[in-house]
Structure 1
Amino acid sequence: MRAVTVHDTVLSVVEMPTPAPGRGQVLLKVLRTGICGSDLHVRVEADGSADIAAEVGYPHFMRREHSVVMGHEFTGEIVSYGPGCRARWRAGSQVVTLPLLRVDGEVHMTGLSEAAPGGYAEYVLADEDALLPVPHGLDPDLAALTEPLAVARHAVRMGGLRRRDPAVVIGCGPIGLAVILMLKAAGVRHVVASDYSPGRRELARQCGADVVVDPATDSPWKRLGDRPGLVTSAPEYYGAGLEALHALRAVRLVPWRRVLRVAKRLGAGPRGPVVFECVGLPGVIEEIVSATPFLSTIVVVGVCMRPDTFRPTMAINKELQMRFSFCYDPADFDETLHMIARGRVDARRLITKVVGLDDVPAAFEDLAAGREAKVLIDPSLG
């Protein structure tokens, strides 16, 4: 079969044997595979990622000297089953899969390990237990977006937003755009999106962002509006407690303590926006910590491959919450697939190009330069 491998940062189209499914494995004919932003990063920063993965107990992450078929966002048709499978679906059935593969009793990350080649190929192996059938009639282009949209759904859930809470999305690449789609699907009423690229800003508008900002000329924080509960200075924050006491002590019928307890249970009082960092470059977290209003929740979704710093004292003074979102769970994945199938998210807006295997190296360059948003690979195009 034909596939695209990466070795020492170089992408090459090669011929290699079609894999044979092992125990519990299924051979899929690849219909579409998405190029993920993390693939772009890992291509040049593989060793740093592998070192971190080893520290958390996964020693099989790809390294620079390895030859790996990447691609963990894919949909395909079932070709054949390996031994020990239940053969739940007929050959020809279209499926998506969690990008995890059991090999000799160990779990490997599909497309990010030599032991589990990914979807930049005509065929790929999947774990039968990880398969989800694609709803009838769903376009493969859209089914292939299940994985990145599941990442976004998980991040939005981690943010704990209420519909009336403002959201800020920093970076409108594929994951930032997916976060916008999921925020609007969740009913969030005010989404501010920020990106330097005019093309990505236009895509953010199409994905439903209410306000789109070029950070070179405008500030996303100023576009949150004059919303009640937003606090932007220390005197305002610290003085709010005194003002509340002053007002409540004037009402003698109900003890002020009881009123404040009830108000807290109802979620009253100051509350900052939920900010999604979708860039993944050093310095962005510090920029957000410095600029965001008090009491903000920051969800870090962008994968920064290099060491980074921010000022904890600034975050402490503002009482910020920081959360780091990695991927998803099987429920997120399944729910996302059915959201796409039912049209709850208009995922087609993410796709800017579909290419064959021969065009993957050029697509990487276009993505790195910001000329494309989401590029899909169709191996049948050559």
Structure 2
Amino acid sequence: MRAARYHGVRDVRLEQIPEPEPGPGQIKIAVAYNGLCGSDLHEYFNAPTFIPMEPHPLTGAHAPCVLGHEFSGTVVAVGDGAGVFGPGDRVAVRPTYSCGECPACRIGAPNICKQLAFHGGSAAGGGLSEFTVVDETMAHKLPDSVSLLSGALVEPLAVAQHAVNRAAPGADDTVVVIGSGAIGIGVWLALRARGIEKVIVSEPSGQRRQAISRLGAERVVDPTSQDLQTIVDEVSGGVGAAVVFDAAGVPQAFADGLSVLAPHGILMVVSVYERGLDFNPTALLTGEHTITTSLTYSDTEFAEVIANMERGVYGADGWTDVIGLDQLTDAFELLRAGEAVKILVEI
């Protein structure tokens, strides 16, 4: 079967590899769609971070490895002892593996496991292949009303859902989302689902501003020509933003976020930074601000996203593009240049 395998920076190859078969407790999935995300770009353009070059301590996997951790598909076979799903079931997959033994796992936070691994990066197989095999505990069944295309968006939207759940903004709070790529859009959708109306989106890319505006965002700011602080003051009555989500992962986003926080405001970082930033913690003192972070998700958040899709809150229209597997590296370049919001690969 064909698969996209990561060998190193700027070295992703379409190769023929053996078709996997499910083992005990596993299901085999014919992949329908796989989304590309910011972490894929980081690995491709910058350096392997989540992809191990030596055997991963939990899974034993290492590069070259099949990419793709945001995917949906149809079950085509089940292994011994797997009884939750059957052939023909349509699923989205939570791609994370955890050890169950580290301090994070022991307190019920496997999403920050010390040995966290990802299907499609640091485990055997991935969504950028014709077929893949996962433990059936990682799959979530899609309702009939949720398409396989939308199913491939469950994973990134669950990232955003987890960040919003952790920050827990109130219904009357003013909230700022910096960056309207896929995660920024996901955060905006999750805020809308919670009934939060005073949301300001800051995004320098005209194409991405248009995409989130098409979805219904009313307060969309171009930080290169508009003053974010002035708009936040207008919306909040001079109080500032109770929560800022940094979904951009660049130093300017971090600085802009801090500058508009209300007293006791929260800056939630939900993006991967390719390089560090200069930061003086004294900037936090006068407002007793909190900087916190969010990583991946839980099965609960997968279920929340799917439920929101079923009731029509989330969808793929207006912010996604679909390509073929042969266009993969071109898609990386488009995303890197900000010329696309979310690209899904049709397998």
User: What interval of TM-score do these two structures reach, taking the shorter chain for normalisation?
Assistant: 0.7 to 0.9
Where 2:13 maps in the other structure, the secondary structure is: strand
**Letter of the structure 1 residue corresponding to residue 313 of structure 2:** R
Does 2:296 correspond to 1:327? Answer: yes
- In 2, are the aligned partners of 1:180 and 1:207 still within 8 Å (CA)? no
Distance in 2 separating the partners of 1:102 and 1:189? 36
SS in 1 for 2:234: coil
The structure in which a higher percent of residues are helix is 1
Query: Counterpart of 1:345 in 2: which secondary structure?
Result: coil
Please tell me whether residue 70 in structure 1 is matched to residue 70 in structure 2: no
Q: Report what 2:206 is aligned to.
A: 198
Q: Distance in 2 between matches of 1:36 and 1:228?
A: 32
> What corresponds to 2:167 in structure 1?
159
Q: Following TM superposition, by how much is the alpha carbon of 1:286 offset from its aligned partner in structure 2, in angstroms? A: 3.2
1:376 and 2:339 correspond? no
In structure 1, stretches of 5+ residues that fail to align are 233-271
Taking the TM superposition and a 5 Å limit, the aligned residue runs for 1:3-152 are 3-9=3-9, 10-49=11-50, 66-83=63-80, 85-100=81-96, 108-113=117-122, 115-152=123-160
Q: TM-score, normalization: structure 1?
A: 0.80
Aligned AA for 1:69? V
Q: 1:60 to 1:289 in 2, by over 3 A?
A: farther
Cα separation, 1, equivalents of 2:342 and 2:121: 19
Contact 1:297 1:323 in 2 (8 A): yes
Give the direction of change, closer, same or farther, for the CA distance of 1:58–1:203 in structure 2 (3 Å limit): farther
- Aligned-pair CA distance for 1:293: 3.8
Confirm or deny: 8 A CA contact 1:102 1:127 kept in the other structure: no
Deviation at 1:288, TM superposition (A): 2.3
CA 1:200–1:166 in structure 2 vs 1: closer, same or farther (change >3 Å)?
same
Q: CA deviation at 1:229?
A: 6.4
> Displacement of 1:58 after TM fit?
5.8
Cα offset for 1:290?
3.6
Cα deviation, residue 178, structure 1:
1.1
Letter in 1 for 2:23: G
RMSD of Structure 2 on Structure 1 (CA): 2.6
Q: Are 2:294 and 1:297 aligned?
A: no
Cα deviation per residue 1:69-121 (whole Å; 9 max; x = unaligned)? Answer: 111111111111223x2322221111112103589x997410111x3221011
> CA 1:88 to 1:62, structure 2 compared with 1: closer, same or farther past 3 Å?
closer
Gaps spanning 5+ residues in structure 2: where?
102-114
TM-score w.r.t. the length of structure 2 is 0.87
Q: Secondary structure at 1:331's aligned position in 2?
A: helix
Contact 2:246 2:254 survives alignment (8 Å): yes
The 8 Å contact of residues 50 and 59 in structure 1, kept in 2 or not, is answered as no
Q: For the pair shown, which has the larger CA radius of gyration, 1 or 2?
A: 1
Structure-to-structure mapping, 1:204-219, within 5 angstroms: 204-219=212-227
* Equivalent position SS for 2:268: strand
Instruction: Please say which of residues 298-307 and 283-292 is displaced more in the overlay.
Output: 283-292
Structure 2 CA distance for aligned equivalents of residues 333 and 11 of structure 1: 29
Deviation digits for residues 344-375 of structure 1 (CA, Å, limit 9, x no counterpart): 22443331x11111111111111111111111
User: What is the distance in 1 between the residues matched to 2:314 and 2:156?
Assistant: 13
| SS of residue in 1 equivalent to 2:5 | strand
In the alignment, structure 1 residue 344 sits paired with structure 2 residue 313? yes
Aligned-partner residue type, residue 254 of structure 2: I
Q: Is the 8 A contact 1:73 1:144 kept in 2?
A: yes
Question: Structure 1's 347 and 304: CA in aligned 2 closer, same or farther, altered over 3 A?
Answer: same
Q: How does 1:164-243 map to 2 (within 5 A)?
A: 164-226=172-234, 230-231=238-239
Distance change in 2, residues 1:346/1:80 (3 Å): closer
Distance in 2 of aligned mates of 1:108 and 1:191:
33
Give yes or no for contact 1:111–1:117 (8 Å, CA) kept in 2.
yes
Pairwise CA distance, 1:5: 1.2
CA distance, structure 2, for counterparts of residue 62 and residue 306 of structure 1: 26
Q: By how many angstroms is 1:122 displaced?
A: 0.6
